[in-house]
Structure 1
Amino acid sequence: MQSSLADHLKQFSRSVFVIAATCCYLGLAGCTPANDNDWQGYVEGEYVYVASSQAGRLDRLSVARGQQAVVGAPLFMLEAGDETAARNQAQRQLKAAEAQLADIQSGKRPQEQDVTRAQLIQAQAGAGKAVLQLHRDETQFQAGGIAKQQLDDSRAAADTANAQVRQWQSQLTVDRLPNRDAQVRGQQAQVAAAQAVLDQADWKLGQKTITATRAGLVFDTMYREGEWVAAGNPVLRMLPPENLKIRFFVPETTLGRLRVNQAVTLSCDGCQANVAAHISYISTESEYNPPIIYSNQSRAKLVYMIEARPAAADALKLHPGQPVEVKLP
């Protein structure tokens, strides 16, 4: 029994020694300074919320979640019956204003000018007849066949007929002229206003069919076809590759060695090769600082947020929320 107790004591002493040695090793390992060129971070995406300024029923959703969309690709279309009718109305109003302007600038219609021209011909015929009568009366007066009063009447009739000819000639010239400048400018303003209304109608109609202005991943869709979409509500979220960034935190003692546009290297689980990136932002405020007065002992606990962005082609290898390791090359 005493021998068994001694054996147990020996085994206990050996276990205590092993545990103590292990703790000492772990303590020494924890005291070993870490590599101050490596930091842990994560991938974050800045999403683009695609919406229309107009309300309407979602008639067509041309993309699905997880699909890569190129610039100019159709994304979705809202019903556009009211906007189409408004555009047609504005287009017809513009044509009416342009036609009225052309009418003002061209003077009277050809049929109206024909009426004035016929009046001129009639006046010319009357003037010719009056001139012939004047010549006859002058001959008769010289022969003493008529009184001077009759000759004066013939001269007055000839002058009146010639005046009527000049009147209708001037009227025909006026008929061929456009309206006054003020009327022309006023109608030109009406045409410009109608064009502006048409441009506005075209823009509203264009807002019913949305295409991709930037290439990227269709991260999520918020509506299904047939649902009503209020004006300004996003129909889908897109993630362009250039909107991916990496956030990581560095201690206050390392902050002075980093600068904007400085190159860093990213590595992650599943990445076949390291990804190059450049620092795009360095925070000017500390994060997670302890709620105590700063001192030489607490300064080591301060960290600062750093953002880095990879190239657009390399960003396709990363995913939002993915943990990464950031290193200085």
Structure 2
Amino acid sequence: MHRHRLRHLRHLLRLSRRTAALALPAAAAALLGACGNDAPPAWQGYVEGEFVSVASPFAGRLDRLAVQRGQQVAGGAPLFALEADDESAARQQAAAQVRAAESQAADLQTGKRPPEVDATRAQLAQAQAGALRSAAQYRRDQAQFAIGGVSQAQLEESRATAAADAARVRELQRDVEVARLPGRSAQRAAQEAQVAAARAALAQAEWKLSRKTVSATQAGLVYDTPFRRGDWVPAGSPVVRLLPPGNVKVRFYVPETVVGAFRTGEPVRVRCDGCAAPVDATVSYISSQAEFTPPVIYSNETRAKLVFLVEARPAAADAPKLHPGQPVEVARP
């Protein structure tokens, strides 16, 4: 009986030692796993670009393409030019109409030309001389009528001639005065309206001509050029697609347990394959609606999980380091 108890105690001691030997590696592995989980969680996402499509509102043949894909351009840099023969001719016609309308308005302001005024004055002098002769003849006929030398009819004729010549003198005097005056106010106002209309037509022609040569409104990357030189470009069709640095953003998805901790303006850190270093970004948008994991970051582990979309934008200097469609991993710094 005593021996049986001793064998049982020895057996229990061996089991305890074996259990301890097996437990030590498991505890060490658990400890190492706990140390490895100290890294901050990361979420999958991708880079997206908001492209700017640069086009002309008018159709035409592509005469010049000043940029190529992958090129960085500054704001105001020329991008492309369409043929503009029709617009150039329309601009020249409008400019000629402006000059004609302005000349007519200036002519109304100055009255008749000096040679025209001199001609009217010569006619006045001639009429005055005729009036003097007819007046003298009328006086002579009056004296002759008093002594019976002329008839009543001749006297009436002399009086009518004298009156007509005097009226002609007054008419030409008024013509000389009017010739020195500018055009009537209503006439001048009408001509000024013609000048304004001609200038508006010129401005429109110049605007149409300017839209055939297009420049970059802001700096950015030339992402695509769908047309080639000599192609016919329909009105409004993008000839150059630009990606400004401020239009690059990162879209990533976080679970419901995490989304409440995010705030707009919060910094995050973006990592990607091939990036020399992480890229800092700032949260700009947090969705208020949950959605299933999108196909772009689909996996068997997350296919049935509801997530929230979060967007972050890098600084303009760091935006060229990221490329649209590129998969990334986002974490808090």
Range class of TM-score, shorter chain:
0.7 to 0.9
Q: What CA deviation, in whole Å up to 9, does each residue of 1:120-168 have, x standing for no partner?
A: 333455567789999999xx9xxxxx9xx9xxx9999998777655543
Distance 1:70 1:185 in 2: 47
1-structure distance, mates of 2:248, 2:293: 27
**TM-fit CA distance, 1:111:** 2.7
What residue in structure 2 maps to residue 91 of structure 1?
A: 95
Q: Aligned-pair distance for 1:269?
A: 3.2
C-alpha offsets along residues 207-265 of structure 1, whole Å, 9 cap, x if unaligned?
A: 11111111111111111111111111111211111110011111111111112222222
Residue 185 of structure 1 is matched in structure 2 by 189
The structural deviation recorded for 1:57 is 1.0
Q: Does residue 1:315 correspond to 2:319, yes or no?
A: yes
- Residue equivalent to 1:11: none
Could you list the runs of 5+ residues in structure 2 that have no partner in the other structure? 1-24, 144-148, 295-303
Letter in 1 for 2:175: Q
**The one of 40, 46, 62 aligned to 1:42:** 46
Which residue is 1:266 aligned to?
Answer: 270
1:217 aligns with 2:221: yes
Query: Is 1:77 equivalent to 2:81 in the alignment?
Result: yes
Task: Give the drift of 1:178.
Answer: 2.4
Same amino acid, percent of matched pairs? 59
> CA 1:86 to 1:191, structure 2 compared with 1: closer, same or farther past 3 Å?
same
* Farther off after superposition, 60-69 or 117-126: 117-126
Quickly say closer, same or farther: Cα 1:156–1:56, change in 2 above 3 A: closer
**Residue in 2 that maps onto 1:297:** none
Cα-Cα RMSD: 3.8
1:60 maps onto 2:56 in alignment: no
| 3-state SS in 2 of match to 1:316 | helix
SS at match of 2:207: helix
TM-score (norm 2): 0.74
Can you give the 5+ residue segments of structure 1 that lack an aligned partner in the other structure?
Answer: 1-20, 141-145, 291-299
Give the superposition deviation at 1:276: 2.2
The one-letter code of the counterpart of 2:176 is L
Kept in 2, the 8 Å contact 1:265–1:275? The answer is yes
In the alignment, the residues of structure 1 paired with residue 292 and residue 205 of structure 2 have an alpha-carbon distance, to the nearest angstrom, of: 53
The answer to whether residue 259 in structure 2 is matched with residue 255 in structure 1 is yes
1:1-53 Cα shifts (integer Å, max 9, x gaps) = xxxxxxxxxxxxxxxxxxxx99xx89x979x9796653222211111111111
Distance 1:91 1:37 in 2: 68
Give 2:310's aligned amino acid. Answer: I
CA distance in 2 between partners of 1:136 and 1:258 (Å):
120
Give the Cα separation in 1 of the matches to 2:318 and 2:37: 32
Equivalenced residue count is: 297
Kindly provide the amino acid, as one letter, of the partner of residue 85 in structure 1: A
Cα–Cα, structure 1 residues 289 and 321, in superposed 2: closer, same or farther, change >3 Å? Answer: closer
What is the rounded CA distance, in whole Å, between the counterparts of 1:202 and 1:128 in structure 2? 63
